[in-house]
Amino acid sequence: MNFLIFEQLLLVLVTLVDTMLLSGISEAALGAYSLVDSINQLLTQLFLAIGSGGSIIAAQYLGNRDRKGAENTATQAALMVLAISTLIALPVMLLNGPIIRLLYPGVHPSIHNYAKQYLLLSALSYPLYALYHNGASMLYAQGFSKLSMVTSILMYLARILMNFLFIRVWHMDIQGAGLSTIFSRVLGAALATWFLMDQHKPIHYTRPFRLRFEQGTLKRIFSVALPGGLENIIFLACKLIIGMMIAPLPAMLLDMALILNVGVSVLIVQ
């Protein structure tokens, strides 16, 4: 539990660092970052819930001394989160402009342009984030919380470092925030997958990795994941609606609202 709390604090720290760095570059970039972050949190919640649900089912198999069932569940969960995250990412990348116009019709044109760029770059990282979260959940399920924490620390520290380089040193503003998100999630996904390819671990991915969906296993995962993720989805939808309401505010009021919005992110269960 202590490791989980520490990881959540790291996540909040990264959000605060992003906000601090962008605030020194452009108010429009800062506004776009916060507005798009609400969209990202809502869109990613479905595959995050599936990863968490899969880890619960895998732990149940492990408790029944069924290592084959645990291995199969981990693999099926990875395939499912990759499929769903890709299905979400593709339309978001193609329709990033219309999505921003639909959700924030009264936003300033400069914020709108930044938001389009950041949403596109964020969507590219959805499958990477899905694979990282599924792997971290499976590591927790079998008691390897230290490995999950190491993966998270390296990923978030890499993101902070790249944010500093891209935003402050190379003045890439919102594009820098998006690129640092992609590259750091590449690292997180690679580490989590590498740990779970170890066939000596109680829960691991099959080798070779079979691209085959099993309906029975997926139904069990969904039966746990959907109810568990519904509460977060409702909360994040309300947060998005608040963002839609404050987006057309004058610049000074919008900045104050966005700072409060970052504070609310502390309450989100990833």
pLDDT tens-place string over residues 141-197: 998 988 988 999 999 999 999 999 999 898 888 999 999 999 999 999 999 999 999
Model pLDDT, residue 212: 85
Tell me the C-alpha to C-alpha distance, in Å, between residue 13 and each of 6, 19, 105: 10, 10, 30
**Whether the predicted pLDDT of 247 surpasses 90:** no
Structure confidence by residue, pLDDT tens digits, 88-136 = 999 999 999 999 999 988 888 988 999 999 999 999 999 999 999 999 9
The rounded mean pLDDT for the chain is 86
Tell me the C-alpha to C-alpha distance, in Å, between residue 32 and each of 35, 39, 116, 145, 269: 5, 11, 8, 34, 23
Model pLDDT, residue 195: 95
Q: Which two tokens stand for residue 211?
A: 């691209």
pLDDT bucket at 227, cuts 50 / 70 / 90: confident
Please, what is the Cα angle at 78 between 75 and 84, to 5 degrees? 140
Sign of CA dihedral 40, 157, 138, 265: negative
The Cα–Cα gap between 240 and 224 comes to 25
Instruction: Output the pTM of the full model.
Output: 0.90
Of 249, 246, 248, 250, the residue nearest 262 (C-alpha): 246
The Cα–Cα gap between 66 and 69 comes to 5
Model pLDDT, residue 258: 52
Structure confidence by residue, pLDDT tens digits, 69-79 = 999 999 999 99
Q: Which two tokens stand for residue 150?
A: 């190491």
Phi and psi torsions of 23, nearest 5°: -65, -25
Model pLDDT, residue 252: 45
The Cα–Cα gap between 47 and 128 comes to 11
Strand, coil or helix: 211: coil
Which of 74-88, 109-123, 193-207, 227-241 is predicted with the least confidence, judged by mean pLDDT? 227-241
**Whether the predicted pLDDT of 262 surpasses 70:** no
Question: Is residue 48 within 8 Å of 270, Cβ to Cβ?
Answer: yes
Tell me the C-alpha to C-alpha distance, in Å, between residue 59 and each of 95, 113, 142, 212, 249: 38, 45, 7, 21, 48
The Cα–Cα gap between 267 and 238 comes to 13
Q: What is the dihedral of CA 222, 60, 49, 1, to 10 degrees?
A: 170
The Cα–Cα gap between 207 and 173 comes to 41
The Cα–Cα gap between 35 and 255 comes to 11
Q: Greater confidence, 35 or 184?
A: 184
Which of 24-33, 37-46, 61-70 is predicted with the least confidence, judged by mean pLDDT? 24-33
pLDDT bucket at 253, cuts 50 / 70 / 90: very low
Which of 200-204, 213-217, 230-234, 246-250 is predicted with the least confidence, judged by mean pLDDT? 246-250
For helices 96-103 and 27-63, give the axis angle rounded to 10 degrees. 100
Of 38, 29, 100, the residue nearest 242 (C-alpha): 38
**Whether the predicted pLDDT of 246 surpasses 90:** no
